[in-house]
């Protein structure tokens, strides 16, 4: 399959935390995006119901949880690189890069989304997938890609990079909440961020994205209307 948009993240649940409503909106408009995950999330947090699981068992569980979330979000494809969770920064950079390039080139997207350079929260795995995805796109190895987006972050804002477009999650909150619930092994971390999922978290209302690169230009400034049209959301 081809995908107009590809998301490259580190762990299962990153996709829903950061862009669940955007993913569903793209799918609902007939353009189901694809998701590449660098790890299976087997070093993730385990709540009380799952503390007995080994890393291998947790990885298997998180893949099943991701399948449920993918069905909620209507993702067109999910693939894993199977790299060591918590140690992406130690992965062989050339092999890591080649895997990302191969995934993108198989699907021929026009736009790619990933973490900002600081990973949004300085998580080493987030920073690693951002760095490698950026190299893949900006380095010219993925000719179909016209745009690279980062998730907006406080650090980007302080550097003067305002969101190119935002998604109001309130109309789709039930969808996002269901996808978050699918990641049940991580529910304590999810609730620390979003609160109890039956209540809409006003302080987490928007998913925001910054255009980092477009056809050779770094940090281009375009209108939100153009960004949404490019993504076929208008």
Interatomic CA distance for residues 104 and 141, integer angstroms: 9
pLDDT tens column, 205-227: 999 999 999 999 999 999 999 99
Asked whether the predicted pLDDT for residue 123 surpasses 80, the reply is yes
Distance linking the first and last C-alpha atoms of the chain? 23
What is the Cα 101 distance to its own chain's centre?
16
- On whether the pTM is more than 0.85, the answer is yes
Asked whether the predicted pLDDT for residue 48 surpasses 70, the reply is no
Interatomic CA distance for residues 69 and 65, integer angstroms: 6
Asked whether the predicted pLDDT for residue 51 surpasses 90, the reply is no
* Topology of the domain comprising 5-230: Rossmann fold (3.40.50)
**Confidence at 45, pLDDT banded by 50, 70, 90:** confident
For the chain, the domains span 5-230
From the list 167, 137, 132, the residue with the least C-alpha distance to 149 is: 137
In the chain, the percentage of residues whose pLDDT exceeds 70 is: 100
Pairing mode, strands 5-9 and 111-114: parallel
């Amino acid at each position: 399959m081809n995908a107009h948009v590809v998301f490259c993240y580190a762990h299962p649940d990153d996709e829903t935390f950061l862009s669940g409503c955007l993913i569903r909106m793209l799918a609902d408009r007939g353009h189901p995006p694809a998701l590449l995950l660098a790890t299976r999330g087997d070093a993730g947090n385990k709540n009380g119901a799952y503390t007995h699981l080994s890393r291998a068992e947790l990885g298997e569980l998180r893949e099943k949880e991701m399948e449920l979330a993918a069905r909620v979000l209507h993702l067109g494809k999910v693939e894993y690189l199977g790299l060591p969770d918590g140690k992406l920064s130690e992965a062989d950079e050339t092999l890591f890069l080649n895997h990302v390039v191969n995934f993108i080139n198989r699907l021929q997207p026009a736009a790619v989304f990933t973490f900002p350079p600081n990973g949004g929260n300085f998580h080493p795995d987030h920073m690693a997938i951002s760095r490698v995805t950026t190299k893949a796109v900006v380095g010219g190895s993925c000719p179909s890609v016209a745009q690279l987006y980062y998730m907006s972050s406080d650090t980007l804002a302080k550097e003067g990079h305002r969101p190119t477009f935002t998604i109001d999650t309130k109309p789709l909150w039930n969808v996002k909440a269901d996808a978050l619930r699918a990641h049940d092994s991580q529910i304590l971390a999810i609730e620390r961020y979003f609160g109890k999922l039956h209540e809409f978290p006003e302080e987490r209302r928007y998913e925001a994205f910054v255009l980092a690169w477009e056809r050779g230009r770094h940090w281009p400034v375009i209108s939100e209307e153009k960004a949404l049209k490019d993504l076929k959301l208008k």
